[in-house]
Every structure is written in C-alpha cells, then in structure tokens.
Chains A and B, each alone.
Chain A
Amino acid sequence: MTVHPLSGPAPGYDDPYEAAGIRLLTGRRTGLDEHLARHGVLPLPWSGRGGGDERLISAVELSGLTGRGGAAFPTGRKMRAVADGKGFPVVVANGMESEPASRKDATLLDDAPHLVLDGAAVAAAAVGANTVHLCLARPRLLQAERMRRCVDERLRRGLDRINVRIQQLPHHYVSSEESALVRWLNGGDARPAATPPRPFEKGVRGQPTLVANVETLAHLALIARYGPGWFRRVGHPDAPGTALLTVTGAVRRPGVHEVPMGRSLGSVLETAGGATAPLSALLVGGFFGSWLPAGPALSVPFTRADLAQLGAGPGAGVVVALPKDACGLAETARILNHLAANSAQQCGPCRFGLPAVARDFTALAEGRPEKDLWARLRSRIELLPGRGACRHPDGASRLAATALSVFAADAHIHMTGHPCDAFHGSAVLNIPQAHVPGPDEWR
C-alpha cells in the first residue's frame, strides 16, 4: 500500500477505531506487518540530506499538535526553531516517563512501537536530522529490548533512512527533563542543565536538538500520512487530536485511555468506567500537577487553555480521582516528599526550599501545627517557582499551593492538631519508595 504524503486515504468513520476516536492505542501489541497493513509505508519522499522540510513543518503547524510530554508547546513551532538553527539537527525521543502516576508512554511503546518509530522518522525529516536518540528509563530492560528488536526489523526491511539509537538513562524524576537528556547524551550526568542555551538552540553535540515526547511522535506519524485536516477531525479546535490519559484513583477501570482532547474531565472519568465513590478532588497533570475541586472540575474541558483558567494544565496526561474518604493533604505530603527526594540537588530551591516545604506539609498532614506553620509554609511555597534551572520546583509549588486551597477546610482541622478522619485511611496514590539518588547514580 502506498500512501501519499499528507493526503493518504485516512481511516474513515467505518473504521471502528476511528469511529471511536482512537488513533494510537488498539489495545494490543501491533507488530510491523499489521502496522504496515493498517497505515502503509511511511511516505517520506522529502527525506533528503540536510535541511528541514518546509511542507512537513507547515503541516504540523496547521495540525495544531501540541507536545504531550508536559508543557503542551506547539510541536510545529518547536520544529521550525530547530530546523532554522545553525548546525546539523538531532532528534531526541523522550520515552522516559518518569512521572510515577503515568503509564501512557509505556503503554504506547508496548502497543504501537512502530507509530513511535515512524514519528521519529517524520521528526527527523522535518528538521533535517539523521540521528534519533530514543531515551528510555534504564530499569525498564524489557521495553528497551523490544524497541531494539523493532528498530532492527525496520532496518532489515530498509524502512528507515535514519539512525535510531536506543539510550538507557538513569531513572529519576528529573533525569527525563529535556536538558538532562541532552546533558547525559553529551557524556554528563542526567541532571538538568543551566539554560540558555536551550536544547533547540544548542543540544546534543552542540547541535540544534528537537526533544519530543514519544506520544507526540506517534501523532506525527499519522499527520504525515493523513494530513492536518484529518488530525483536526477529532478533538477541540484549540486542542486538536486525541491524548493518552492515565486515569487512576477511584474509577472503575483505571488505566491508560485514549480520549479526544477537549472532552470534559467528567467524561474522561466516564471513559475509565466512572467514579466508584463520591469524589472530593481531581489531581490533573501528575505529581506536579494541580488539585481541582471535583464539583467544578468535572465540567472543564481537557485542554491547555481551559485547564489554565483553573490554574492547572494537561501535564503528562494524568487524572487521579480522589474519593471523599481520602485525605488530600496526606496524599500531597507524600508526593512532596517524593519530589523533594528525587530532585537533582543542584539549585537552592531544590536543595533547601522543596525539602522544607515537604517537611512543613508533612507536619500539617499529621496535625502537628508548629507555631507559624501556616504562614511559613505559604511563603516557602510561593518562593519555589522560577528559581531553579528546570521547572521541578515550579511543579512542586503548584501541587502544594492547589492542595492548600482545595483542601482548605481539612487544613483548618489539621491546624487544630487533629488530622481529619480520612488521614488514617489508606493512600490512593501509589508512590514509589523515595530513594535519594547518590552522586554516582546520574550517569
């Protein structure tokens, strides 16, 4: 099957997946033959040496695709900046998924590895790169092994003109931040680097570097085939396409669900089978996401702009439903302790501010109100953002600040020295053992 660039015969509404608004996740592992039967060979006639591809970049701009790795930045614009940079561009595929509450990238790499690899080839063609580094978390050995086999199979069949290198990096919360990936690929620690220059200006080997999340790449694979118009058929005009969301907590079918962008948070929960208990709040974005009160949140469309109005963002596509009988302050304290332990220990806010906030928050959650705790905690939280090399402290600050406002009533009870009843209940969020990485654990 030959597919013409940007105008291939798109799956029609008779296609059961397309009809259901599902584009990436078919629910089972798709091998290369099935992948090619469904989508055809990736049409990249523009793939030449050197120089980006204007047609492809404009198509991505028109599609309105935004990054699915956290910041929701327009992918086309980032590609253009890289293609316009000085030097020989490099592509970095971010498959690290260090967010403990997220499973979407692992699920995608399991189900549709060839969409991700196609997307890597599209990104390379768009910016004029011939090397793609696929960054994976080192402990996930099976994942790397599977991806390596997929890359080899494509090579044997002569499908790729690019060089895809599987890279296995230390797995800590911040080792997946883009400047940390670049620093590690350049032979250093997988710890965030001081910017500017940012990776798009000067990244791997000093070259302009496009860092993109693996889900973002999978969408690119389809945009290159079926065009921006097709991409926009699903989703919201301001936030087109689908997104992979990890929905957990008090829902009937916790897991990764592909959802058209712009659905309400309530409908996102319905996709996951609906709530199993009355809810008090939703955690949106991930460990450095925002708490939203369940009532008003349910009607909010899942788009960057709509969430921003409530002080939230799509983040890594995590939605956690917190039941009324859980304690949001206790959950938050545990997340903050994890974020504090998992920082790179490089900048003032992460060396001192964040651990202090985590300690204060723990005192609050446990109902140990020291003198001035409330005022001190508030001012420490406010001083975190914008003062680190990366946005780790910013994320932690947002989580803590939204917790204090959403769980304000509980906080007052805790401040009188009595944790709320829910404090003694079992935790909703699964938080990995906090392990402070040693100085030699970043390479």
Chain B
Amino acid sequence: MTISSLLRIDRIACDGHGLCADLLPELITLDEWGYPVIPLSVVPHELERHARRAVAACPVLALRLDSTAHGVRRGG
C-alpha cells in the first residue's frame, strides 16, 4: 500500500487569495471569485514539493497536506 498525500482546505478560513492556484496549477484552479477548485485532492508524488510550497504560501493557513486517509468523510 502506498500512502499518498491529500490536499485539504479549511473552507471557512479560505479567503480566496488564490496563491495556491499560482503555485500548484496542476491541481488547483480558481472559480470566478478566486476561490479554489480542486477536482482531485490526491497529490501525485512528483507534485508533492509544489504542494508543500502552496501550503506554505497560503496567507491564512487554510491549505493543508494530509498524509493519511484521516478526515475522509464518515458519519452522517
């Protein structure tokens, strides 16, 4: 089993600064108001470094990289 990283966004903290999309355009685009759209949150190995940069760049610390499946929706 390979453990891959997952991109997580705290949607409440996110203010639509959009830096994440600049640094990680392969995975993140923006809607017309500048809020991130992430069709696939699994980060391929080769993009991991870019993903870390995007996480570090978020001015409100809304972006996170989770290395486990923790947080996958469960419960009603």
- Residue ranges of A at the interface with B (Cβ–Cβ < 8 Å): 67, 69-73, 78, 81, 178, 192-196, 198-200, 211, 346-349, 351-353, 383, 387-389
Min CB distance A243 to B, Å, is 15
Are B76 and A346 interface neighbours, CB within 8 A?
A: no
Give complex CA distance A72, B32 in Å. 34
- Known: A72-B76, A194-B11, A387-B35; 15 extra A-B contacts, CB below 8 A, are A70-B76, A81-B74, A194-B10, A194-B13, A198-B74, A198-B75, A200-B74, A347-B11, A348-B11, A348-B14, A348-B34, A349-B11, A383-B31, A387-B37, A388-B11
A-B interface pairs (CB < 8 A), number: 61
- Residue ranges of B at the interface with A (Cβ–Cβ < 8 Å): 10-14, 16, 31-37, 70-71, 73-76
19 A–B contacts, CB within 8 A, in A order? A69-B76, A72-B76, A73-B75, A73-B76, A194-B11, A195-B71, A196-B70, A198-B74, A199-B75, A200-B75, A211-B76, A346-B12, A348-B31, A349-B35, A353-B33, A383-B31, A387-B11, A389-B10, A389-B11
CB-CB < 8 A to A196: which residues of B? 70-71
CB-nearest residue of chain B to A67: B76
Give complex CA distance A211, B76 in Å. 9
CB-nearest residue of chain A to B37: A383
Are A194 and B76 interface neighbours, CB within 8 A?
A: no
CB-CB < 8 A to B12: which residues of A? 192-194, 346-347, 389
CB-CB < 8 A to B35: which residues of A? 347-349, 352-353, 387
Give complex CA distance A72, B33 in Å. 33
Label chain A's interface by main secondary structure.
loop
Min CB distance B69 to A, Å, is 11
Name which of B33, B36, B76 has the most chain A CB atoms within 10 A of its CB: B76
Give complex CA distance A353, B36 in Å. 12
Name which of A192, A194, A351 has the most chain B CB atoms within 10 A of its CB: A194
Name which of A69, A211, A352 has the most chain B CB atoms within 10 A of its CB: A352
Q: Which 10 pairs show the lowest CB-CB distances between chains A and B?
A: A348-B35, A73-B76, A196-B71, A347-B11, A352-B33, A71-B76, A194-B10, A200-B75, A346-B12, A67-B76
Min CB distance B24 to A, Å, is 16
Give complex CA distance A71, B75 in Å. 9
CB-CB < 8 A to B71: which residues of A? 195-196
Give complex CA distance A43, B35 in Å. 53
